[in-house]
Structure 1
Amino acid sequence: MGGLFEYIKMAVQNIRANKGRSFLTMLGIIIGIASVIAIVSIGEGTKNQMNSEIDGIGGGQIAVSVSNDAITESEFITAEDVQAVREIDTVEGVNVSESYDGETVTGKGNFSIMLTAEGPDAKLLNNSEMKYGNYFGENEIEEGKNVCVISDADAKRLFGTDDVVGMNLDITCYDSSKSFRIMGVTTQKENGTFVSYTYDGMPVAVNIPYSSMEDLAGAADEFYSLTIQGDKTLDSQIIADQVVHVLEKRHQCAGEEYFQVQSFQDVMQSMNEMLGMVTAFISFVAGISLLVGGIGVMNIMLVSVTERTREIGIRKSLGAKTSSIMLQFLAEAAILTVIGGLIGIILGILAAYGICSVMSGSIGMTITPGISPTVIFVATLFSCAVGVFFGIYPAKKAARLSPIEALRRN
């Protein structure tokens, strides 16, 4: 143990005696470790923020659609099916969504309309925040009221103001016209990452009860798909199985695979996997600098062996073992990479916080770097391994020097 401490002491003295050269030797290790830690931390922080915001928008949501086989057999989702699904204990809300093209004329001109017929839990599923008025609900659905909800941005396009609750909107769809009373105006939630944009010529989005579409477009109470808000504390797959079981029981089509399911959890998992692959690839590219840094360590250690040939000869002539000489140079290589690794870790963490701060200011959301103790530990361990691996050859070369030949060199 005392011998090892002596080797470390000698290595530190040699590093201090050649500060400039030692720093340049460590530079590749510093850059490599800092890059990997910064990239992984930024990637984890971005992923965590995305998951948080996406979960707030659509966490626990499940989409159930009718397959092509079901359509062939004229097996659509009915209003009675929707009510049956709403009665499942693990289901918090159900929405149907059927879109139609239409148009309207106001004092501001002619506008194309994307008319969306929705169910009683539309407000919950759309995660809507009301600015004025209210969203239509179960009463409006049952009575088939001619009411609608629009966004504040679309209200300004149509009327020049967003305070339009109580105004009428005349909509033409499939050569039929009907007047809808605006009962609510929604607004984009603040601090959200996913912002909806509008531009001139973009269709105006108008949401109405599905029951009010029958007279306008001849639409029956049959739907291709529905969206379910399940209990976020439960596994989405469990809720999806319950919903499919109810639908198959009502349509007597168990085993026919008439209903296809996609959960929001699956979408988030796919996004996380994609982001993880990108982060891993960029980290791998950044990690190449560790290889370059390791080669730099080996080159400098070879120079050090050449410079200290006479010292090695004296030590061996005085009885120093080959293993002692080898451990001396391995200790020096390891210490160089450990110091470089520690500096790289500090710079990597600082860089992660700095870059995340810039990103937060530029895209309008708060990103906190996901600093992982595991990544830091692996980075430290890897930097040590690089030093030992690339220090083996110079150490062996020094240990194999003949004392007589070493003493002859100046």
Structure 2
Amino acid sequence: MLKKLLNSFALALHTIRTRLFHTLLSILGIVIGVGALVTVLSLIDGMEQYAREQITNTTSLKAVMIETDTYKRVNDVRLQKENYSYLTYERFRAFDEAMTLPATGYIAFKQNSEVQLPDSSSIGAVVQGINTIHPTAATIATGRLFSPQDVAAKSPVAFVNHAFAKQAAGKSPAQTIIGQTITCKAKAVKVIGVLQAQKQEQPEVYLPISLFTDDELKTDPPRVVFEVENVEQVQAFKKNAETWLKTEFATDTTDFRVMTNEARVEQAAKGFLLFRVIMGLIVGISVIVGGIGVMNVLLISITERTVEIGVRKAMGAKKRDILLQFLAESVTVSLFGSLLGLVLGILATLGIVPIIKALTDVPFQAAYTLDTFLVITIVAIVIGIVFGTYPATRAARLNPVEAIRRE
């Protein structure tokens, strides 16, 4: 069987060589269709890769986030809860100590507030109560950050970002704010540090979260983030966190949302998969037109080779031998057209990517994945079989006597 199959493909290649120009014209549709499919899939793969890089660069895939859900749904109506559980600094410390997997925990309380300066003027700023600043958020430029000991001792200290320091200092250097006492949220604190300047920043003041009362935290419940050591530990840590919350807040476990950034990656992947399928189906129409061209070249080939088919059947060739011969020829022609389309698609992306970069100023690259090549191969084989079945069946059904008599 394998020998017959190889002979059939060898005969198909010989036929293509002897009628190369006619074959090229007939498979032009499939070349264009496959080329368009390769271009679309490569560009979409490149978009997905770029999106994943952006998500990874802007957020940590090793982060597990816990937020209080202050809303509920009643008859599909979103309503504010009157009572809900939330994490305080003491509960956060218990939470952190209860986790068995190694991780660094951050708790942050954020509210917009008016901050009074020593000269009785005020600045609108984002006031944040934290236990420590995230390393990726900013680095200290002048002075120092408050320490875990300052948080535990409820020391009345604070550090500010560059935007706040610059606005508070006026014409003086930004670092002159250090050592001054400011008042925010009815708390007088001494400024001990200024963060480095960031792009498009707004005035911010950072206080030890231990300075805020439980009632103050309840108005806008803190957000907790744990950074695990390895991405592989994220799901296990998430389950541990959910278990602790259910145990600690057994009266109502619907007050908390435990999330990871992996969900964002999965959502992006689903979106690109949907886009890939839709665009693939649209471009697939041109591939079907190309398949009709393959069927056309086979029908013409059968007409021209009627006597040859009759002689083969008269010499003992069975229907399945003729069927296999023309199916092999159909698949070979389809693969040949798909190979040319693959080359055309790659050349097209090489020309399109620079245009995209010039118009969008984005470091975008097309991605050629194994999945794309597998899809093209499968498409070629399916087209060869589907559109070659009718011509092959017609050739296999020829009566040898009638076929020879046509000479």
TM norm structure 2 = 0.75
> For 1:9-408, what aligned pairs fall within 5 Å after superposition?
9-56=10-57, 57-68=59-70, 72-73=82-83, 75-87=85-97, 88=99, 89-102=101-114, 113-124=124-135, 127-130=136-139, 132-133=141-142, 136-138=145-147, 141=151, 142-150=154-162, 164-167=174-177, 183-187=194-198, 198=200, 204-209=202-207, 211=209, 220-222=216-218, 224-233=221-230, 234-247=232-245, 253=250, 256-316=253-313, 320-349=317-346, 351=348, 362-365=360-363, 367=365, 369=367, 371-372=369-370, 374-407=371-404
Structure 1, gaps ≥5 residues long: 189-197
Distance 1:22 1:172, change over 3 A: farther
Letter matched to residue 209 of structure 1: L
Mapped to 1, the partners of 2:357 and 2:390 lie a distance apart of: 47
Mapped to 2, the partners of 1:345 and 1:305 lie a distance apart of: 28
Deviation, 1:393, is 0.9
Contact conserved, 2:42 with 2:369, CA < 8 A, in 1?
Answer: yes
Letter matched to residue 141 of structure 2: Y
Contact conserved, 1:32 with 1:286, CA < 8 A, in 2?
Answer: yes
Task: Report the counterpart of residue 77 of structure 2 in structure 1.
Answer: none
Distance 1:295 1:156, change over 3 A: farther
Mapped to 2, the partners of 1:342 and 1:351 lie a distance apart of: 14
Distance 1:294 1:371, change over 3 A: same
Task: Report the counterpart of residue 192 of structure 1 in structure 2.
Answer: none
Deviation, 1:299, is 1.7
Deviation, 1:5, is 5.0
Deviation, 1:185, is 2.0
Mapped to 1, the partners of 2:297 and 2:112 lie a distance apart of: 72
Contact conserved, 2:108 with 2:209, CA < 8 A, in 1?
Answer: no
Mapped to 2, the partners of 1:312 and 1:298 lie a distance apart of: 18
Distance 1:327 1:241, change over 3 A: closer
Letter matched to residue 67 of structure 2: S
Contact conserved, 1:100 with 1:116, CA < 8 A, in 2?
Answer: yes
Q: CA RMSD in A?
A: 4.4
Mapped to 2, the partners of 1:63 and 1:270 lie a distance apart of: 17
Moved more, 61-70 or 327-336: 61-70
Distance 1:249 1:326, change over 3 A: closer
Identity rate of aligned residues, in percent? 23
Contact conserved, 1:309 with 1:407, CA < 8 A, in 2?
Answer: yes
Contact conserved, 1:330 with 1:388, CA < 8 A, in 2?
Answer: yes
* Local SS of the residue matching 2:240: helix
Mapped to 2, the partners of 1:6 and 1:243 lie a distance apart of: 64
How many equivalent pairs are there?
385
Letter matched to residue 66 of structure 1: T
Deviation, 1:132, is 3.2
Deviation, 1:85, is 3.2
Moved more, 341-350 or 378-387: 341-350
Deviation, 1:387, is 0.8
